[in-house]
Amino acid sequence: MPERHFVKYTFLRVDPAWRRLDPAQRARDKREFAAACADFAQDHLLRAFSLVGTRGDADLMLLSQAQNLERIHEFHVVLAQSGLMKWCEVPHSFLAMTKESEYSDESRLEVRPAHGRYLFVYPFVKTRAWYALPADERHRIMQEHIRIGREFPSVDLNTSYSFGLDDQEFVVAFETDEPGDFLDLVQRLRTSESSSYTLRDTPTFTCVACSVERALGALDGEPVAAEALT
């Protein structure tokens, strides 16, 4: 039987004072951070995203996945020992697990490896009235939700579950190369019956997929400023 996985979304904001440090010190701090990421990524899924230019309260996001919570814990302990983390705060953090969906056979027990240029992430909470509905009624309502999603094949969804693990009930992460398609999908979903049972679906994070090194370079513009953006 396939194992479920823990999924952790860690958002970091760097103190602006760090950018005024000597370039050699910043480079050391980034190397230590990257080394911790590389160690974890040897045996686990780790994805990096830049939020520079898309959010005011976060600069970088790490998506980490492991089959046990201890490994997620150990990774963040090691990460905290890097020089860069001494200058960082964690304004947002979401912990979840993968789980088979009640409503669709398209759910996954693992978050997919990187394949889209952008990831849109937000915590999601339904109203208690939703859970009071009969199971067949909830299934009927969700079929419309799923049908709308299939109208946008360029947008891929990863849903993970946080019941009892974190403040939200779900963490949803939409991946695509076309932000406009995601915008149109979300607008269409607002008209669905299931939308009336949404209690909370913010904050929303627009994340640019990149390597750990590139995400770190975007923090102080070195060496990203010298690269051609692709």
User: Rounded to 5 degrees, what are φ and ψ at 134?
Assistant: -60, 150
pLDDT tens per residue across span 11-54: 999 999 999 999 999 999 999 999 999 999 999 999 999 999 99
pLDDT(102) > 90: no
CA distance linking residue 79 with residue 76, whole number of Å: 5
- Class of domain 6-221 (CATH, top level): alpha beta
- Decide: 186 and 180 in contact? Cβ < 8 Å: no
pLDDT in the model for residue 229: 42
Q: If you average pLDDT over residues 52-65, what whole number do you get?
A: 97
CA distance linking residue 117 with residue 134, whole number of Å: 39
Q: If you average pLDDT over residues 87-111, what whole number do you get?
A: 83
pLDDT tens per residue across span 160-203: 999 999 999 999 999 999 999 999 999 999 999 999 999 999 99
pLDDT(101) > 90: no
In this prediction, residue 230 has a pLDDT band, given cuts at 50, 70 and 90, of very low
Query: Beta strands 118-126 and 60-66: pairing type?
Result: unpaired
**In the chain, pLDDT over 90 holds for what percent of residues?**
86
